[in-house]
Amino acid sequence: KTRLGWIDYRTAGDLIRLSGLERESESLYPLLLSLFLALNEGSLCLPLEEETLAHRLSTLVPQEMEQSIAQEILVGIRSRKWGELIAYEGGDFLPLIVHHEGENEFLYFQKYNAKEKQLAEDFARLLEVPNEQVPVDRVRPILEETLTQSPVRRGKDPVHLNIQQKVALCFSILQRVTIISGGPGTGKTSIVVSVLRALVRMGVPIDRIRLAAPTGRAANRMSESIRSAIDSIEAPSENDLALKGLEGMTLHRLLKYRSGPIPFRYHRFNPLPADLVVIDEVSMVDVVLMADLISAIRPGTRLILLGDKDQLPSVEAGAVLGNLIPGLIQSCLSTKGKEQVESLLGETIGTPASRVETRAADRVILLDTSYRSEASILRVADEINRGDLCALEQLGNHRLGVENHPDRVQIEWPIAEGEGGKPISGLVGGGVRWIDASDNGTMDWMRVLDSWIDCHFLQSEKGVRPFFALTGKPLSTIGAAKGPEEERLTALFRWLESSRILCLPRKGPYGVEWVNRHVSARMKEATGYTGRGNIYPGLPILILQNDLSLGLF
């Protein structure tokens, strides 16, 4: 069992055939498939080390042949046996290349090797530009206004940035390049809004600001979040209101994609006309697109990259964000940077200055306080990210007692929300529960699923099911919804966003397709709708293709 698709097998075969190396396929075929496996897991290259290579081959060849084939491959590469396919010097333009780093060797596709080098060089070029000298007496009143006097609100309560967010805000103002990494709900969007409000007050023109993300949905969500934040301000200034006109766009739209040998209108020799570029969901960006983006950034432009370093790597090759901040477990502040932040904020920050300053100092900020997830969920996720199997063993102590309720699992489903921008408070027993995938696992899971449906959609209040009350009448599809219709739409989306099921697989009883079918069948039965298929009033749908004209992403 491998993570390879049919196109990987076909491409490997084509490369061998076009190179005239069919007689060498016993060694070359497993080598190429091992490289494709590495790419599919987010790596750009394959380490040419015997034990690592043998481990890669474990899913491709019989166990007794792993070591011998690994040895044959290394002998073939080091003897330059496959010169028609693999380049051993930088000037040879062949599909693959062996890259030397000290005593270590790595096998790359030429494309990824070239893009990785380009990205490193262009990023270093941006870091060499001196930072703008920011006068404290000018910035401190701006921060006082945007954070205290006229803050963004959540409901009626002002949003208070925690110290990590304030540090990220300050360095986004002080530095030309800033990387902000944090999991879901750590307040990255709140930082972006605060940065934008501060920089426009410092003179950055609105028409010189660019917001982008890898997908249309992520870009649209960024725009909506900014507009929503500005709308929450009690007395927004003209600068604040101008921010509502900012439009998030995909990276391809930002760079002006076009067909031809030069894929984008904006590149190193025709850089983006921008003074500030903010990129969200950077963990989803592959190395090729990131290299094209960074090459199009003019030296001196402020660049803010946001994402989650622990998120799965991009669909294409390269875990760029994870590689930009390797091994960091907390933000790295220089002594000078710490003093600058404290001067801007007018308060002491608890984060100590780093003893060993690196290029990440004052440029990389890690956020670890979540306002969306219960503490035990974050703890377990962190332990799994670190490869700590004890976390999984401890989960066995927190099981759902399905055996006690044969008809339906009676679970007290928590509705936990942080109040006034505070982190979600602890729940009784924590936020993590274990469901056995044993012989009875599927039936247990179905009962849990039915309990979830009952709780979130089918509960009655005075004989009326609130969700059905919202979906019972048709909405006008002509023009934008206004008045009561807008309120009903807002309530519907808030309801759907309050609880979701995230599935790892697509198939099987724990997969997306099965779960959606089961939920839809229950909901259709409850509504009494008699149409064909599992369609019912209020069924949420996913947009699979962006439609700019309709504003659907």
pLDDT at 175: 93
Is the sign of the CA dihedral 285, 288, 293, 297 positive or negative?
positive
Mean pLDDT of the region 37-48: 89
- Indicate if 303 and 444 belong to the same structural domain: no
Query: Three-state SS for 56?
Result: helix
- Indicate if 398 and 282 belong to the same structural domain: no
Residue 445 to residues 402, 406, 457, 475: CA-CA distances in angstroms? 9, 12, 18, 35
**Cα–Cα nearest to 299, from 118, 130, 126:** 126
Distance CA 154, CA 146 (A): 15
pLDDT at 418: 47
CB half-sphere exposure, 402, CA atoms < 13 A: 21
pLDDT band at 496 (very low <50, low <70, confident <90, very high): confident
pLDDT at 546: 77
- Indicate if 450 and 317 belong to the same structural domain: no
**Cα–Cα nearest to 408, from 451, 438, 369:** 451
Mean pLDDT over the full length of the chain = 85
- On whether residue 537 sits in a domain, the answer given is no
Mean pLDDT of the region 157-164: 92
pTM: 0.84
- On whether residue 540 sits in a domain, the answer given is no
- Indicate if 388 and 451 belong to the same structural domain: yes
CB 212 within 8 A of CB 251: yes
CB 518 within 8 A of CB 447: no
**Cα–Cα nearest to 115, from 295, 307, 282:** 295
89-118: pLDDT as tens digits:
766 789 999 998 888 999 999 999 999 999
**Cα–Cα nearest to 167, from 326, 27, 343:** 343
51-86: pLDDT as tens digits:
999 999 998 988 889 999 999 999 999 999 999 999
Domain count, the chain: 3
Q: Residues 407-418, buried b or exposed e (16+ Cβ, 10 A)?
A: eebebeeeeeee
- Indicate if 271 and 157 belong to the same structural domain: yes
Mean pLDDT of the region 211-235: 93
- On whether residue 290 sits in a domain, the answer given is yes
Q: Among residues 81, 111, 141, which one ends one of the domains?
A: 111
- Indicate if 152 and 180 belong to the same structural domain: yes
308-363: pLDDT as tens digits:
887 766 666 767 877 777 666 677 788 888 899 999 998 888 776 666 567 778 89
Mode of pairing for the β-strands spanning 209-213 and 177-182: unpaired
Distance CA 447, CA 444 (A): 5
pLDDT at 476: 65
**Cα–Cα nearest to 363, from 162, 42, 17, 124:** 124
Weakest mean pLDDT among 59-68, 82-91, 147-156, 428-437 = 428-437
CB 147 within 8 A of CB 194: yes
Choose between 268 and 454: higher pLDDT.
268
- On whether residue 259 sits in a domain, the answer given is yes
Mode of pairing for the β-strands spanning 276-279 and 302-307: parallel
- Indicate if 80 and 136 belong to the same structural domain: no
User: Which tokens belong to 256?
Assistant: 């002006």
Distance CA 386, CA 384 (A): 5
Is the sign of the CA dihedral 56, 58, 60, 63 positive or negative?
positive
- On whether residue 534 sits in a domain, the answer given is no
What range does the domain containing 192 cover?
129-353
**Cβ-count burial of 352 within 10 angstroms (0-12 exposed, 13-18 middle, 19+ buried)?**
exposed
pLDDT band at 197 (very low <50, low <70, confident <90, very high): very high
pLDDT at 376: 76
pLDDT at 397: 63
Distance CA 310, CA 330 (A): 13
pLDDT at 420: 44
pLDDT band at 520 (very low <50, low <70, confident <90, very high): very high
- On whether residue 552 sits in a domain, the answer given is no
Q: Which residue has the tokens 């001067």?
A: 343
- Indicate if 215 and 348 belong to the same structural domain: yes
User: Which tokens belong to 69?
Assistant: 């084939």
Kindly calculate the radius of gyration of the chain based on its CA atoms and give it in whole angstroms.
27
- On whether residue 367 sits in a domain, the answer given is no
- Indicate if 274 and 417 belong to the same structural domain: no
Choose between 424 and 182: higher pLDDT.
182
- On whether residue 69 sits in a domain, the answer given is yes
Give the sheet arrangement for strand 276-279, strand by strand: 248-250, 209-213, 276-279, 302-307, 177-182, 364-367
Most confident region among 209-223, 395-409, 451-465 by mean pLDDT: 209-223
- Indicate if 153 and 59 belong to the same structural domain: no
**Cα–Cα nearest to 271, from 300, 248, 305, 304:** 300
CATH number for the domain that contains residue 200: 3.40.50.300
pLDDT at 368: 85
Mode of pairing for the β-strands spanning 96-101 and 104-109: antiparallel
User: Which tokens belong to 54?
Assistant: 């043998």
- Indicate if 487 and 397 belong to the same structural domain: yes
pLDDT band at 419 (very low <50, low <70, confident <90, very high): very low
Q: Dihedrals φ, ψ of 332, to 5°? A: -110, 110
Q: Residues 188-218, buried b or exposed e (16+ Cβ, 10 A)?
A: bbbbbbbbbbbbbbeebeeeebbbbbbebbb
- Is the predicted pLDDT of residue 424 greater than 60, yes or no? no
Distance CA 286, CA 389 (A): 29
- Indicate if 341 and 467 belong to the same structural domain: no
396-415: pLDDT as tens digits:
666 665 544 445 556 666 55
Residue 327 to residues 123, 292, 294, 386: CA-CA distances in angstroms? 19, 25, 23, 11
**Cβ-count burial of 453 within 10 angstroms (0-12 exposed, 13-18 middle, 19+ buried)?**
middle
